[in-house]
Structures are given as structure tokens and as C-alpha cells.
Structure 1
């Protein structure tokens, strides 16, 4: 007798205990969501005659982008942010619904911009609309954790040289009590002012010199190399940071006063997450190439603001599909525990959207020491993500999986059909404004946002003949 089983393992375990040959099929019901008919929507989208070609074009567009570092400049210059304009991570949100870490980052940003002297005076500005809030994604940018961008903050500028499209991200502050985790104490503001006065201008001089003399730094190429060296480009960026420092250091040493250069080299060399803020806009630059392809079911953004988790899809324009952000399951710093953690926050899930980060955990088994789990879990995660993606990225390969390309192009229909949710590894911010980082872990999106996107794709599908 030969038996095929699906669903839970209870029957299969019992049969195998009796020496019955059993083949287990990893099947589960489609994702369900209140008020939607997932089965009907899947059928409608599957019959959309545009879908196959649209997804092929979306994948080709993403894989065809190479991100280069072309400049560094303040957000007022590179994004046109004006006084009183702030950006944040995730889908749109107002002050009333903002989480603790987002509020803390906004309060610190208000002091940094000279809008208030005391952070405690800032909430009134945001509550009455004196300061505007908008998603980073709406301005060609991404921001880690709270993702707050103010006009005076310096930003990386990445460009696809073939098309001239650009994306941007702030400079990385390091870990612990930093603005992006919602901290806003005097030490946080002192560091940010140094980054604006010293770090930003020196990096700009170095980046421009490298660009003009040898050609701009190929960030996509650095990502290719670092995935071979134990990084996954979300919570582990050590190799990427050191390679970037290697390429910029010769130009840095002649860019300013020796003491300032030494401080910059010390700061970058001691901040293993420094490259994250280059990886994120590189991923956004690639994924933005697929936006607006009618009929495509590929996800082009996953982002969280600490309250909502949102996705955008190539075939549905700039529409957000949102649900409640989840608290990550992982490891905590010191005496912190789950009760201290805010729900997931940040634009950094753009790395997973592009096929690295949590999707490439098999390249960085050491990441489990930061986010939890085991090495076999990391390998299994990368394999599982192939079940919900449209392609593999030949540039970004996984040595331990025989150099298989990373799973790329999250497909809404595959997520809904299999019930497998994208895996994200993430930092955890304290739920209370001002606390900073409390841990790191693993998290998935709320399941209901994918049926919502599927329903919209079904509405946009052409009528059957």
C-alpha cells in the first residue's frame, strides 16, 4: 500500500509507524479573508490573459536594474523636502494612529529641525497639522524602522544609469538608542548633528570623487559579493559595510581634516549596519522598475509604520493594502521582553520584497544568533520562499544551496493559494517613545492583505469573453 497525505502530520506519522510507505504533500487551504471569495478571485486572476506576460516583464524589469551610488546630499536638496515636511516608513498614517517609536522619532526630528527646543513640545505640532507627514515610498525613498526623514538629514542617492531613475535613503546611525528606533535623547541629537555637519559632507566628497574618477560604486555588485560572504543584507551587513568602506576610504582620507576623517572611518567601521541604508534603496530602485505593469501580480513593496503593514502590487498602481502590523518573535536585549516591543516597523522589508533579507537567510546562517531559530530553519526558510515567488535572481545566489538564485518576485496569487507568508527578519523597537531598540526577530505580514490585493487584481482583470 502507498498512501499520499496532506494537511497535518498525524495520519502520516501513524502510517509510517506501521511501515506504510507514505508521501507527504505540503498543502494547505488558500488564505481566507472576511468579505472576500479567494477561490473566485484566484480563478479570475488566473484567467487574466495579461498575467503571464505581465509577470515576465515585471521580473525582467527588476532583474535588469543595477543600482549605482552617485551622490550624497541633504533631503532638502535631493528630495526637495521643505521646512515642516517629514517623511516616515510604511503606508500613510497620521499622528493620532502613530506608534510609540514613530512618535519618538518625529519628536526628535522636530528638535533637529529647530521647530521646537523640547521634544515634549513637538506632539502639538503634529496633532494640529503644522508639520506634514508622508510615506518615504511616495518620494522615491525608503527609511529603516521609523524611517523619519527631515529636510536637514543627509541621504544616499542611488541611480539606475540606464534609465536615470533614482532612489534615496538616510545614513545609518548604528544600533541601540537611535532616532529610527524612537529614541530622541541629547546623545541621539548630538550624533545626528555630527552626521549632518561632518559625516554627510565627507561622504559626499568621497562619493563624488569615486564617481568622477573611477565610475560610481556598483551597489548591486556589492550585494552580489556580500551574499557570498555571510550577509543577507537586512540584519547582517558586515561584509557589505567593510567593502563599501574599502572602496570609499582612499577618497575619504583626502576629503577633510584628519581628525574628522578618522572619526568617520571609526564610525563606519564600527557600525555593521551601515550598508543596510544602501541595500534598501538598491532594492527599491529595482522593484520600482516593475510598477504600473497592468496584470502583474508581483509585490513591489512591503512596508510597516509600526501600526499598519502594507503592500503594493505592480498591477494595482500606488494603492496600499494594509492590515495590523505584528510583533516579531525573536530575541530580546537585556531584561526586555515581548510586552516591551512595538509591532513591526520600517521600510526595510523592501529587502525581502527583492529576494534578500529573510528570503536569503540561507546565505547567512549566523543571523539566527540575532533573530532566533536554528541554522536548519534558515535553510528551510529560503527554500520555502521559492514557493511564493516568480523567479530566481541569478546575480544573488546562495552557496549552500548549490548557488541557487535567491527567490525573487513575491506573487500575490501564490501566497493566497499556498498560505505561505513572506518571512521577514527585523529589529524590534520599544513600544514607548524614547526607549530605542529592544531586540530582533522574525515576523510575517498579516495574512489578510494578500486576499485584499488579489480581490483588487480580480476587479481590474478584463471581463471574460
Structure 2
């Protein structure tokens, strides 16, 4: 008979013991396990072109144009539908990406190592807000920015990261997340403090090591304009932290939550590599001017890995100012966090919330508690337009569909019932 309480304690302890550290950058095809030349990875559970939502299709088109496989959006769309491109989830390659999450073979990615267990995770660079690839935009300005990030930002940041590692001071992402929670971030939609802390740590090393000295100023200016920049690194830190918590026999703890704009999916520690899915939810949206609810695409992105870690929507009480971006009130933020304690295995030992007397964030979603109570995980999220090519239309709050958790609960009972 499996001791579920013991199994969940083991999975949670592995998560809490993680030491996610930024150790390098590289091109996706050279550093991500199993990445191939004609492959694009994406957010969420597996999906093919015919079922992709507008923003994911738009990001695929942008990826093809960035790689130079085609020259026009129409040609890129034909290639995307031709069967010549392999589409696989980021999570199948220890990777994550926000919103559409598309990673292409020659795209620069961060390499994060969990020093406690030796496993690695990967994520792409953040483009900022608005009309960006991850939101499904593919205009000339989007592709031009992606090339600047590869040609200028990547070598500058890579040199700084490597200098930090050589100096014996690799960037401790867990420490940055913990500090940022005390400075008003929740590490999903608000990363203002975390991005600032990251720049403070990395800038001296970039100044010392950048191959082109004048590029450092341009990179720092870009980071200064991109308050959300750290979210990709936070996601990679979460992925690296959660990987060792998977495959604990008898554990009902969720180790992946993700959405591809069509479906929402989860994986559970004690249920192997099986995805449990349901239709993606529609967020409650605070819209940008000029857009309506009819423009809103169903929920999308690997960024739900932040709530799986125990921050993001689960730490909204730490970020009262977030309501200016996602709607609601500061008290709503507190109430959301308090509710999440009802469906988690435990509390975090490092990530704490000042407003709650430094109580640890609710950590380790228990799939069975979700199914039993009907309380579903809360996320605060960016929102993409359902039409490919448009980009972001707002931000809001969204509940994860309970059907995926109910399916996992049924499978859990089948597997572990006496």
C-alpha cells in the first residue's frame, strides 16, 4: 500500500530543497536536449497546427520568419501547415516559455541548473510587452527585435553570465525570487523588482566581459524598459525546481500546469508522463484600450509553472499593486492567496509573504484536494488576441479547469486503489 502522505512530503521536500541557478546561455538546438533543426517547441500540452489557436499560430509564423525558412507570413503559414515542421511541447524538453512559448532552433535560451539535484532547464528571452512573438505577433518590428536580441543582447548577456560563473558567483535565482516577493512582485505578471535585482547583479559582469562594450548600455536600457523581463528566468527556475519532484510513487502533487491556447494540461508526480487535459479557460480581463472581450483568446502559456511552484497567483497577497494591471482590489489578492492554502501540500520555506506575517506561500498543488474541494488554482496572466498577428490585449485572472484534475484523480484511484 502506498503512503500518499509520505510520498507528497517527499515530493514537496525535493521542491523546497531546489537551488535554481543561472549558469549559461546558448542556442536552443545546441543546448536543449532533443532539439532538432526543423522543430518548434511551444507552450502547453501537445498540439498540431490544425488545432492551434491564433496566438500560437502567429508565434509559429514569427518563428519561421525569424529562422529565415520563409520570407513572408503567407509562405510561413503554408510551411507551418505542410507537415515539414515538428511541433513538441517545451515541457518535453525540460523547457518553458511564456504565452505561446515558441522556441526555435537558433533562438538564444537561458540555461538554469538546480544545484541541489544537478538537473537543468531552459527558457527563451523575454521581448517586453505589447506586440511581441509570444503574443502571436509577427510584423517586421517583431522579427527585427528578435534578431537584435540574438545578435546584440545574447552575446552581451552570455558573456556576463559566464563571467559571473567564472568568478564563483553564478546568479542565484531562488534568492532573487525570495527578495522580489518582499518588494511587491508575485513573479508571474509582476516582475518589476525581480528584473531590477537581476540587472543589479548582472550589469557589472556584462561591463567586464561584453565583446562589444557599447552594447552593454543598449542591453541595460532594454531591460529598464522591460519590467516583465525576469518572468522567463523565474519560469526556468520553477521548472528546474519541480523536475526532481516528478515521478515520486504515490504522490498526488502537480508538477506541471500549462496551456497552449486550446487546451489546459497537468502532470502529476505519481502518474508518470501522462497529460490530463481540458479545454483552456477564458480569463477575466482588464483590457487594453481598443479591444473587447470578443478579442480574448483562451488561456495560454507555460507560465502556470509559477503557480505550480507556489508563487504567481498563489502569492498575490505579496503584490497589492498588481491589481492595477489585472483588475480587482488588494483585498481580493489576499483572499486568493488564503484560498490556495486549501489545495496545497504545504507552505514554502523560502518564499514568504510580508503581509501574512511572512507566512510561506501555499506550495505543492494537491490534485486530489482540487478534485475533492472544487477549489481550482488561480492564475494571474497576460491575455493574447485570438487573431494571429495582433499581440497582447490585456491581462487578468483565470481559474484552471477542474476537469483536468478530476481526470487525474480518476487515474490516481485506478493506479493506487487497493
TM-score, scaled relative to structure 2: 0.98
Match of 1:216 among 170, 181, 191: 170
Runs of 4+ with >6 A deviation: none
Mapping for residues 213-362 of structure 1, pairs under 5 Å: 213-254=167-208, 255-362=210-317
Q: In 1, distance between residues paired with 2:417 and 2:391? A: 48
Mapping for residues 386-425 of structure 1, pairs under 5 Å: 386-425=341-380
Q: Is the 8 A contact 2:136 2:391 kept in 1?
A: yes
Deviations 1:166-194 (A, max 9, x none): 00100000000000000000000000001
Specify the SS of the correspondent of 1:362: helix
1:381 CA drift (Å) = 0.5
Aligned to 2:141: 187
Mapping for residues 359-398 of structure 1, pairs under 5 Å: 359-398=314-353
Deviations 1:170-222 (A, max 9, x none): 00000000000000000000000011111111111000001110321100011
Mapping for residues 4-23 of structure 1, pairs under 5 Å: none
Q: In 1, distance between residues paired with 2:205 and 2:15? A: 31
Specify the SS of the correspondent of 2:195: helix
Specify the SS of the correspondent of 2:21: strand
Aligned to 1:66: 19
* RMSD (CA atoms): 1.0
1:327 CA drift (Å) = 1.2
Mapping for residues 77-156 of structure 1, pairs under 5 Å: 77-79=30-32, 81-156=35-110
1:318 CA drift (Å) = 1.1
Specify the SS of the correspondent of 2:375: coil
Q: Is the 8 A contact 1:62 1:290 kept in 2?
A: yes
Specify the SS of the correspondent of 2:214: helix
1:162 CA drift (Å) = 3.0
Q: In 1, distance between residues paired with 2:62 and 2:370? A: 38
Specify the SS of the correspondent of 1:71: strand
TM-score, scaled relative to structure 1: 0.88
Match of 1:450 among 381, 405, 410: 405
Q: Is the 8 A contact 1:126 1:132 kept in 2?
A: no
Larger Rg: 1
Q: In 1, distance between residues paired with 2:224 and 2:25? A: 19
1:462 CA drift (Å) = 4.7
Relative to structure 2, which stretch is displaced further, 122-131 or 365-374? 122-131
Deviations 1:16-54 (A, max 9, x none): xxxxxxxxxxxxxxxxxxxxxxxxxxxxxxxx6321111
Deviations 1:403-446 (A, max 9, x none): 10000010011111111110000000000000000000000111
Q: In 2, distance between residues paired with 1:351 and 1:146? A: 16
